[in-house]
Structure 1
Amino acid sequence: MSVSKVQDSVIAAFKSAKTYQDPYQHWFLEDVLPEGYAKAVCALPIDAPFLEVDDAGTREANNSSRRYFDKETISKFDAANDIAEAFHSREVVDTVEEVFGADLRDSRIRLEFAQDRDGFWLQPHTDIGVKRFTMLLYLSDEPGHEKLGTDIYKDADTHVGASPFKPNSALIFVPADNTWHGFEKRNIPGIRKSLIINYVTPDWRAVEQLPFPDTYVK
């Protein structure tokens, strides 16, 4: 395992990403992390919390039990550190700006380790605001998880489909007022594991979630 291998793999995946324009511009990519990393993250000894999603279908109801690649986590686990360092690196940041057109000046990297149990759902939302880039990196490989991709919407009320959920693949978009996405409530066998990767603005208040809270990526 090494940061440079993660950088190279992520950059290669970014450059080979497939672009889709409907209902808004988004990308799907495969083979994001080097061999072994997705399984290593899934195997991290971080208990999946028993979440209760509020009636509005948001993650915020469970803020106290959500898990991140924060300073403590990356100090304990090599896989988490390598991924955080890679996404914090100028090489990866420059590629994000080049390929996806995101402006990452004065941004910081945030990585949430999501472990979703049966009963989880998310209402349609756009991520617009303090998030400048969103990447949903799918990790788990349990039977039935191929049907657990992110749901995509034309607007808050119009569902148009879902991304594939394939281990070590990802959905990417640059948040705008039309980037509606969510998760329709459906059966989740086992635990649905993913990394939610964002570059966030200086207005992001929960700096304790961040691996490098004192450093912008550029």
Structure 2
Amino acid sequence: MGCLHATNTDSAPYDHWILENPLDDEVIEALLDLPFEVPKVDCSDGRREAYNSTRRFFDPAVLDEFEVCKMVAETMQSQETVSVIQDTCGVDLKGSSLRIEYVMDRDEFWLEPHTDIGAKRFTMLIYLSPDPESDTWGTDIYEGPGPETYLATVPFKSNRGLIFLPGEDTWHGFRKRPINGIRRALIVNYVSDEWRARHELCFPESRIG
């Protein structure tokens, strides 16, 4: 994760960082090759929580089965990576737990504007899909809770990422638009002990030191 030293920072409408090539190319390829079934879900709600039963997390069983998942999780759990994140973003992750979700969004998917505020101390999205029409699949940035506050879309590109520190103003989402393919990405969070779904964590018994 040395790329964090060379991120582009933007403060409008809240501090966020754009990552370029956060993972090695072979890691991206291995993540794209994971044999996860693309869920068929009802996306009408605009919230991922509406289909929790079909979501895929890098939990201990997945780490045991897939070497690339274990490698990514161990890298994000390492003190070296955590120190870079803390120094770059000015966040204290001590005592938090690592949560990584592998998302596979299909056409009709959308997310209402939300902030991630609560138990999440840190959010990072790493885009994976190399589809030729994927450049419009990035995260939408908002200035407030309503769709009329839409400001911009982070350009989607395989091995590009977005970081922000969840707060009262970190509104983001995904406006409904065509997805001709599968929108694959990692969502990396460090969460506090308030996070109740411990089964979603990479290392449920190990907190960041």
Unaligned residue ranges in structure 1 (runs of 5+): 1-9
Amino acid in structure 2 at the alignment position of 1:84? A
> Is the Cα contact below 8 Å between 1:107 and 1:199 reproduced in 2?
yes
From 99, 119, 132, the counterpart of 1:143: 132
Whether 1:76 aligns to 2:65 is yes
Structure 2 partner of 1:94: 83
TM superposition shift of 1:35: 2.0
Structure 1 partner of 2:47: 58
Aligned counterparts of 1:72 and 1:189: Cα–Cα separation in 2: 31
From 108, 117, 137, the counterpart of 2:97: 108
Unaligned residue ranges in structure 2 (runs of 5+): none
Q: State the superposition RMSD in angstroms.
A: 0.8
Structure 1 partner of 2:167: 176
Structure 2 partner of 1:213: 204
Aligned counterparts of 2:130 and 2:42: Cα–Cα separation in 1: 23
Amino acid in structure 1 at the alignment position of 2:194? D
Whether 1:120 aligns to 2:120 is no
Q: Percent identity?
A: 45
When the two structures are aligned, how many residues end up with a matched partner? 207
TM superposition shift of 1:54: 3.9
- The runs of 4+ residues in structure 1 deviating greater than 3 Å are none
TM superposition shift of 1:68: 0.6
Aligned counterparts of 1:115 and 1:197: Cα–Cα separation in 2: 14
Aligned counterparts of 1:148 and 1:51: Cα–Cα separation in 2: 18
TM superposition shift of 1:102: 1.4
SS at match of 1:80: helix
TM superposition shift of 1:60: 0.5
SS at match of 2:143: strand
Aligned counterparts of 1:188 and 1:166: Cα–Cα separation in 2: 14
CA deviation profile, 1:111-151 (whole Å, cap 9, x unmatched):
00000010100000000100000001000111211110000
CA deviation profile, 1:151-185 (whole Å, cap 9, x unmatched):
00011120001001110110000011000000000
From 3, 25, 30, the counterpart of 1:13: 3
SS at match of 1:137: strand
Amino acid in structure 2 at the alignment position of 1:109? L
Q: Using structure 1 for the length normalisation, give the TM-score.
A: 0.93
Aligned counterparts of 1:143 and 1:189: Cα–Cα separation in 2: 9
Q: Using structure 2 for the length normalisation, give the TM-score.
A: 0.97
Whether 1:25 aligns to 2:6 is no
> Is the Cα contact below 8 Å between 1:151 and 1:162 reproduced in 2?
yes
Amino acid in structure 2 at the alignment position of 1:115? M
SS at match of 2:206: coil
From 168, 183, 198, the counterpart of 1:192: 183
Structure 2 partner of 1:129: 118
SS at match of 1:127: coil
SS at match of 1:124: strand
